[in-house]
Structure 1
Amino acid sequence: MDDLTPKEALDFSELGFDTAAVRAGTLRTEYNEHAEALFLTSSFCFKSAAEAAERFANSEDFFTYSRFTNPTVTMLQDRLAALEGGEACIVTSSGMSAILSIVMSALNAGDHLVSSRSIFGSSLNLFATIFSRFGITTTFVDPNDLDAWRKAVQPNTRLFFLESPSNPLTEVSDIRAIGEIARQVNALYVVDNCFCTPALQRPLEFGADVVVHSATKYIDGQGRVLGGAIVGKRDFVMGKVFPFVRTAGPTLSAFNAWLMLRGLETLSIRMERQSANALKIAQWLETRPCIKRVWYPKLRSHPQHEIAMRQQKLGGALVAFELEGDTPEAQRANAWRVIDQTRLCSITGNLGDTRTTITHPASTTHARVTPEARAAAGVTEGVIRLSVGLEDPQDICDDLARGTA
């Protein structure tokens, strides 16, 4: 982009993560502002008709129209690419639009993809219902059964999709091992890194081709705006995804990008504190007699604890637990009672906030998933998802104690 000048000619791959989170991608106008500028404009002007023609012909490299490129959005993209260790990034209007953009850019009618069955409910519906209408089929597999990934491959398999840790049970998969299978069959390997963020995990270093985010969650970090991100090699991100996003229009607004730039400055600090809080709360939950099971990667009881500690810097801020109950109806009643008796925790389907949130996945985030798919993913009526924030963890334990006595 030659309209603005980079603040510094630095290689942020040689600097610390926190330095890149604060300074990578910064551009300055002729006014030499210190904070990143917010460019609330739909279009950009040109000195002549010839310049306009040139810039529209090379819209990747110039600011012409904010559906294509925008200076504030570009700063966020460059910063996220630096943090994930990728060559390029495209941000989108939401996490789901990011996944949509990847698949629509990489696959054609008649292609097949293999996905973990333990993914966000909307991702499941997108793969199973919407893409199937356009001739793109999906096979869902146990994310930790490597033989299942191999056996699911078909001659027309073009993409592997993994979410690790998963929503809501924090299942952790061996990113490197699945990536080796994907490379053997020449499939694009996409990893959803929403719940760790690059502060705790960098899937590209473990063999992923593309990282996808719901930036709505921890990247913003304060529950303010929606956004998504796609990070990977330049030839895919700019050669395939950018033309789709430019044409179809699931672009991120400059205002949302500006807020997320602010959020990234505290990403590492937030993830460290929220992970520490989550571990304390998860350990406390394991002592409650009415709780059947607790899922948190840092707990030794977690089935993929060793893999998580090999891939992740910390355990993350997501905790799931299951209430006892003789029947699904009893489990739901017990789970709803716990949720309804909280006073501090926010009852909402969102996560990644500085405020602790609590939800019942089977009736909210995964309500549109078939009962069979929920059962296969282990999302029973007794499961509660807790996204731990920055409050004093003892206060959150006390809040949950009312319903788990």
Structure 2
Amino acid sequence: MSDHAFATRAIHAGQDPDPRTGAIIPPIYQASTHVQDGIGGFREGYEYNRAGNPTRSSLETQLAALDGGASALSFASGLAAEDALLRGILKPGDHILLGNDVYGGTYRLLTKVLSKWGIETTTVELSDVDALRAAIRPETKVVWLETPSNPLLKVVDIALISEVAHAAGATVVVDNTFASPALQQPLALGADAVVYSTTKYLGGHSDVLGGAVVFQDDRFFDDVKFQQFAVGAVSAPLDAWLTTRGIKTLALRMRQHSENAQAIAEWASARPEFTQVYYPGLETHPGHAIAAKQMSGFGGMLSLGLADGADAARAFAESTSLFQLAESLGGVESLIGYPPDMTHASVRGTELAVPENIVRLSVGVEDVRDLIADLQEGLERSSR
């Protein structure tokens, strides 16, 4: 499938019709175990659902094709994917360099869980290459970045960071959840592995939880696969099937998410209620040029800084209707959140603490005129 366009791969990779019945959609193998043809005689390699399942295998083939990777693994959640990847490639005493704006759950995993296993984490401004070089140590094994980042939409140069990290012998991992593979291909830019919360844009319909790791080559696959098997946080058959179904419309959805978010960012930029609009599609965004170089669209996520501070941000987040107050992102419906008390509560009081005056928008695929009207009405309600 590597010679086909992205939208074609999203629909056809790993999705051969059922050979027995000709069903155009592969069946859901809702089974916990597989009959063996004698002891150790596994049919097509399947023995037990934790070790492997045909529906999950189809999704993993699809995921690898989306990013142009050698292989992929599917997990029960994005954090399960991150945990298995890191435990698979690190050992006690290793060091991670982490961008200074990331999902709060990633920071919590590193500093509250893996730190007890002897992994040390340092945050760094990854757009400053000199700061990155200065922060790399002999024991630095991973440089971990999000671009665009959560929730401040920072953009960093994946190719440049990969060059610097590889020169120091470090592995580059990109959390590509905000962009999705429809808009950004980190492996083609030099990254070694890509992680996703497939709950978000890949699933796309707020009805399934999942995560994934896609690998540039097979260096780490066996070790991470062992973690997947030994710890067992795998995606269930129905979850894998729902994710596969969502992926088939990913290219279409991401175009509409991006178009709607661009319009809202431009509208918000003209409003006095907002002192800051965090969206890489705006030419005023400090990472706009890099985003335009390494992305095919700017995505459906943006954050807004309220001029009147934290109280105004909280009130605004609770005053919209179409933008529903909820955590998560990437579904067809629009969501609004207050990161300091929601998605990023775990980084309060740390170097990753987010501004108290921001709200985060996950812009859906509704008619953008309705979305802008809803935000306008939310401003009016919250100022009364």
Equivalent residue for 1:30, pick from 14, 17, 20:
20
- Cα-Cα RMSD: 1.3
1:126 to 109, 114, 139: 109
Residue 48 of structure 1: which of 5, 27, 38 is its match?
A: 38
- 1:166/1:172 contact within 8 Å kept: yes
Read off the aligned partner of 2:328 and give its amino acid letter: N
**Matched residue SS, 2:182:** helix
- How many residues were matched structurally? 379
Name the TM-score, length of structure 2 as normaliser: 0.96
Given that 2:334 and 2:364 are in contact with CA atoms closer than 8 Å, whether structure 1 keeps it comes out as yes
Partner residue, 2:327: 349
* Distance of 1:372 and 1:81 partners within structure 2: 35
Cα deviation 1:276-335 (Å, max 9, x = unaligned): 00000110011111111101111011110000000110110001110013xxxxx22101
Specify the alignment match of 1:280 in structure 2: 263
SS at match of 1:191: strand
Deviations 1:121-152 (A, max 9, x none): 01111112211111110111012111121111
- Rounded Cα–Cα distance in structure 2 between residues aligned with 1:36 and 1:275: 31
Unaligned runs of 5+ in 2: none
CA contact (8 A) 1:374 1:380 kept: no
- Corresponding residue number in structure 2 for 1:383: 358
CA contact (8 A) 1:352 1:389 kept: yes
What are the superposed Cα offsets for residues 209-239 of structure 1, whole Å, 9 maximum, x if unpaired?
A: 0010000000000000110010013423532
How far apart are 1:368 and its partner, in Å?
1.6
How many angstroms apart in 1 are the aligned matches of 2:315 and 2:328? 20
What is the distance in 1 between the residues matched to 2:219 and 2:282?
A: 37
Residue 210 of structure 1 is matched in structure 2 by 193
Cα distance in 2, alignment partners of residues 110 and 148 from structure 1:
22
User: In the alignment, is residue 39 of structure 1 matched against residue 29 of structure 2?
Assistant: yes
Structure 1 contact 13–85 (Cα < 8 Å) conserved: yes
Moved more, 148-157 or 214-223: 148-157
Structure 1 residue ranges without an equivalent (≥5): 1-11, 56-60, 326-330
Counterpart of 1:9? none
Structure 2: distance between partners of 1:386 and 1:369: 19
Q: Look up the SS of the partner of 2:49 in the other structure.
A: coil
Mapped pair 1:225 → 2:200: no
Partner residue of 2:72 out of 89, 102, 112: 89
Q: Which residue is 1:105 aligned to?
A: 88
Q: What residue identity is the alignment partner of 1:205? A: A
1:374 and 1:159, CA in 2 relative to 1: closer, same or farther beyond 3 A?
closer
Equivalent residues of 1:230, 1:237 under 8 A apart: no
Q: Provide the identity percentage.
A: 37
Give the Cα–Cα distance (whole angstroms) in 2 for the partners of residues 349 and 86 of structure 1: 30
Answer whether contact 1:281 1:397 (CA < 8 A) is retained.
yes
| Shift in alpha-carbon separation, 1:233–1:240, aligned structure 2, 3 A | farther
Counterpart in the other structure of 1:366: 344
Question: Quick one: distance in 2 between partners of 1:400 and 1:199?
Answer: 27
Distance 1:237 1:198 in 2: 21
Per-residue CA deviations over 1:323-354 (Å, capped at 9, x if unaligned) read 013xxxxx221012212221111100110010
- Matches of 1:142 and 1:233 in 2, distance apart? 25
In structure 2, what is the Cα distance between the partners aligned to 1:238 and 1:253?
20
